[in-house]
Structures are given as structure tokens and as C-alpha cells.
Amino acid sequence: MTFEVWAPRARRVRLSLGDDVVPMAPGEGGWWLPEEDPGAVADGTPYGFLLDEDDRPLPDPRSLRQPDGVHERSATFDPGAFEWSDQAWTGRQLAGATIYELHVGTFTPEGTLDAVAERLEHLASIGVGFVELMPVNAFNGTYNWGYDGVLWSAVHEPYGGPAAYQRLVDACHRAGIGVIQDVVYNHFGPSGNYLPRFGPYLKEGRNTWGDLVNLDGEGSEEVRRLILDNALMWLRDFHVDGLRLDAVHALLDESEAHLLEQMSVEVAGLSAHLNRPLTLIAESDLNDPGMVTPREAGGHGLDAQWSDDFHHAVHVALTGETDGYYADFAPLGALAKVLDRGFFHDGTFSSFRGRDHGRPVDTERMPTWRLVVCAQNHDQVGNRARGDRTAEHLDTSLLLCAALLTLAAPFTPMLFQGEEWAASTPFAFFTSHPEPELARATAEGRLAEFEQMGWDPEEVLDPQDPETFERSRLRWDELAEGRHAVVLAGYRRLAALRRELPDLTDPRFGRATADEDRRRLTLDRGAVAVHLNLGEDGWEVLADEVLFSTTDGVPTGPVDGGVTVPARSGVLVRARTAAGGRGPLH
């Protein structure tokens, strides 16, 4: 290590290395370097920086390891020392793949990266192409969702640290599964952020989660470099296959080239160098296809973005819940529109926002895999008062309707941990802030958020209660029991159909029609079709073969011209098509 540090605000900098203190000299552009070469340093050696006259060393803003927490010194770590066994791994395209989102701390009883690696066979059995890890960067406390990170390059030590992270990625690649890392560049966490002591990492103003990151003001070039280098680090040094960029609408950047555009350029260059695909996925609240429009056409050039509208439409159709932002999705036609056009709000009035929202997708030109959709995710489950899953409210058939819509829709499907077996455990919002005032502010903030959704404050779980975290751990002993086994078998069947049927991964938009009065929906995927019956009466549809049924015990196979879709159920059928035409007769 060279132990360089960018500290333009400091008048004096010293390196605290092991038991020694090494003077540092100012270099160009606010960078400081040791006056003398420290020589060879053993892996795991503690180090930090003393700014001005302080006698307490601060962690390295680019730290790769924080064995004693975010308030203590960093430790040296050589990412190049790991012996990779994934030389045959050539990467994976997002198109046609299924993503599986998980939280390392609650996915297994152990709550570690190594324990995740032991469950890869299960993930392969449900057709997972990418594991998407919720943020693993260092944060204060033991457990957290990860979005309160302050040292973006350090892997949270209770998860196993950076070496365990490399072992997990290597194991995923051996299992034929790619890794997407969820990263947060729109704010720093509230505890342990010493970066403003070093330089102008923040600028005036706040977003929902904290102070704004300085992407376009004085000194922003090095701040942007910290972010870009972090993105490249995950992809290059840790062999990650893609990044999920948290809440990019909160990246306020008026630079000539937006940070996202610059990132897409540099990641594309790294992809060419490594000779494997690298994927950037935006979580965006803007419903703006410009996120995934190529740079040559004036967009940011990202590969994909989340479409929350899909989740909202599916959730409302199956649960009937219309509080808060769900209100606009009450008609079944909202789901049909999302299936047809990618977004529901594509320039239409959003009652929750009180204004027009979104822009239309060019469905003739944009491939559907650029939109990542789900029936559940950490936000939509965890931001409920009790962290309750849809499995608590829906019967087995409707849970499999959600699976059918997600995995047979024309988009990139994403599953959330435990969804595939109707996990009985909630996924609540949990924190372990050691600071009493921060713990209190977090709990009060949750109550204020839920007022907008009209939920009972008495039901809101205390995020600081250790039991809130413990109850969110998945129970792997459920998989072979009762309806858990039935739902899991359904997900495995749908995974097999996605491998067998090219129409289910066709990158063209399908054709969806909704019968509002009878609560029926048909999605045409070429030679196959989804029929969803949310009404109270049976529905006769034409088909040559039933490929999947959400009704427990109903066999699949060839049918004599038609099939009955019972109430509150769905089927995937090989469609009977008109002569020379495309699409089912129904």
C-alpha cells in the first residue's frame, strides 16, 4: 500500500501505522503521501490518519477493511492475494436471467457470507442467474439493512469481511451464478462519517436520507473519483458481475456529464478489458427510460432499471390494498398497462405525488429485459409497519399467481429471499445504532413515514429492538412443510419453463388485455399465454396445453381445446393461435 489520502482541508497529516506514526507530506491536488516509504506491511496491520493536531486516528476514506468498526482504524487488505478458481467464468448477460435479492445477515441462521455460499444449490434449483446482495459496506452497529454505510469499500466485518466476500463470489461463479452488489452513493450513514474532515465530500442541501454528496461543486472531481473507483473495485478486484445503484434520483448532479453517464463509460471500458459482461442497474423513482437509453441516443447508458409500477400493480391486483401510493393501481387495467408499456405512470397524474409523473417507454425499440420487476423486495416488504410479507395475506394459489406474473412477464424478474417458499418470517426494518439519540430519531422517523400510508402506529415495530432483527431471519426448516413445499415446487416449475420456452425470455413487449368487470387478465407471450382470473366465477379459455397452474393439485398437460381457470387462480398455457396470426384466441 502507498497510504495516500486526499485531505485538502487538513494543514497537517500523519499516518498512524501499527505502533508507529509516520509524517506525511502534501502533494498535488490535496493528496498527502508518507514522507518515507513504510516498506512491507503485513496483511491486517491497523492504520489511520491523524489530521491537524488531533491525537485520534481516523479510518481511511478508501478503507477495504474495518475489523473494529467504523470509528476505529482501518486494516490493510490485499485483494490480489486471493486465489480465484473462476477462471472459466465468462460472465452472464442480464437478458433472460432471474435475480435473487438477499440480505446477508438474515438469509441464513449464521448471517455470514460463507453461509450464503452453502445455499447456492437451492438458488440454482429455482433458476437464479444472479444473486443480488443488499449493501455489505461497513456501518456502525452489528446489524442493519446496509444503507447506512460510511466506508463504501470495506465489507462489514460481522459478515466475514472482504476475504469472505471473495470466497462467496468465487463460489457463485463455480455454481454458474453471477453476483450483483447493491451500492449506495447518494448519501453517507449518520454514524462514523469522517469524510467531511478530510475534504468537501458533502454539499449544501439534504435528500431523504442525509446530506447531499458533492458531485458537482468545488472539489467534486475527487469525490466523483471515490465513487467511480469504488464501482470499478467491486467489478475488478472482487469479480462482481454488476451493481445495483441505490436511489439514483437522489444523485443531484449538474455536471456536464452526469455521474451515471461517466460510470457507464468507465464500466464499459472495464468490461471490454476483462472480456466479460458487467451490468449497471438503477433503482430510480423517476420512471424515466433515459436511464437505460444508450449514451449515443442521449441517455445515461445504464443497462437496466427497476420498475416499481410492476410491483404496485401486482400487489394491488392480488391483495386489494389501495392505501397511499397503491391508490392509482386499483383498476386491473393498471396491471395490463404495465405489462404492455413497462410503466403505469408514464406522464400520467400520480395522486400520491400530486403531479404528473414519468415518461413513456419506446416499446418498439427498448428490450423488455432492461426493466427489473418483482412481486416482493426489501423495500416493499420491509417498509411495511410489521415487515409482513404477502404470504401472510394470500392463499397458495394467489402467491403462485404473483410468481407466474413475475416469471412469465416480459421483463427481468427479481425474487426476494424466502418468497419462493412463502416464508412465514417477516422482513422488518432493523437497526442497531449504539447512539441512543440516533436510535430514537430512527424510530420517530419510521412513525412519520407510516403516517402517509395510513398504517396504525401501534403496529410499527421498533427497529432497535433486537427481536425485530431476529424475527426477520429466514427459517430454512420450512421448505419441506405444507404450503411452503407447494409454493417452492411452483417456483421450480416456472424456472424450468423459463429455460424450456424461448417465448418467456423474448425481449419484446407482450400484449395484455384486462376485463375489469370480471377481473380477468390475459398476457400474450407469443406461443404461450398467461390467463389470470381474480373473479369469483370459472373462466373457459382456449388452449392446447396447460404448462402451469396455480391451483394446488391441478395437473398440467395437453387439453382438448380449452381449460377452466378457477376463481382466484392463473394458468400458463400453450396458446391456440389463429391461422397465420400471433397470440391466443380468448
The span from the CA of 119 to the CA of 107, in Å, is 9
User: How far, rounded to the nearest angstrom, does the alpha carbon of residue 126 sit from its chain's CA centroid?
Assistant: 18
Measured CA to CA in angstroms, residue 318 lies from 329, 342, 444, 523 at distances of 11, 19, 31, 16
The yes-or-no answer on residue 52 being catalytic is: no
The span from the CA of 81 to the CA of 87, in Å, is 15
The span from the CA of 72 to the CA of 58, in Å, is 7
The yes-or-no answer on residue 283 being catalytic is: yes
Q: What contacts 24+ positions apart, CB below 8 Å, involve 382-386?
A: 382/145, 382/427, 382/428, 382/429, 383/429, 383/449, 384/455, 385/450, 385/453, 385/455, 385/456, 385/459, 385/460, 385/461, 386/426, 386/428, 386/459, 386/460, 386/461
User: How far, rounded to the nearest angstrom, does the alpha carbon of residue 18 sit from its chain's CA centroid?
Assistant: 38
DSSP state string for 372-434: EEES--HHHHHTSSS---GGGTS-HHHHHHHHHHHHHSSSEEEEETTGGGT-SS--------S
The span from the CA of 213 to the CA of 328, in Å, is 33
Other CB atoms within a 10 A radius of the CB of residue 63 amount to: 21
Q: What's phi and psi for 41, nearest 5 deg?
A: -125, 130
Question: E strands, 18-136, where?
Answer: 20-26, 31-34, 46-51, 74-75, 99-102, 130-133
Widest pairwise Cα distance in the chain: 85
User: How far, rounded to the nearest angstrom, does the alpha carbon of residue 211 sit from its chain's CA centroid?
Assistant: 22
| Residues sharing a CB contact under 8 Å with residue 258, sequence separation 6 or more, in sequence order | 251, 300
Other CB atoms within a 10 A radius of the CB of residue 346 amount to: 19
The span from the CA of 163 to the CA of 157, in Å, is 10
Which residue out of 101, 148, 246, 253 is catalytically annotated? 246
The span from the CA of 142 to the CA of 442, in Å, is 16
Are 382 and 460 contacting, i.e. CB atoms less than 8 angstroms apart? no
- Amino acid present at 127: G
Are 531 and 522 contacting, i.e. CB atoms less than 8 angstroms apart? yes
What is the separation, in whole angstroms, between the first and last Cα of the chain?
67
Which residue out of 283, 420, 478, 524 is catalytically annotated? 283
Are 186 and 201 contacting, i.e. CB atoms less than 8 angstroms apart? no
Query: Which residue shows C-alpha cell 491523524?
Result: 50
Other CB atoms within a 10 A radius of the CB of residue 456 amount to: 9
Are 427 and 387 contacting, i.e. CB atoms less than 8 angstroms apart? yes
SS3 346: coil
Provide the annotated active-site residues. Answer: 246, 283
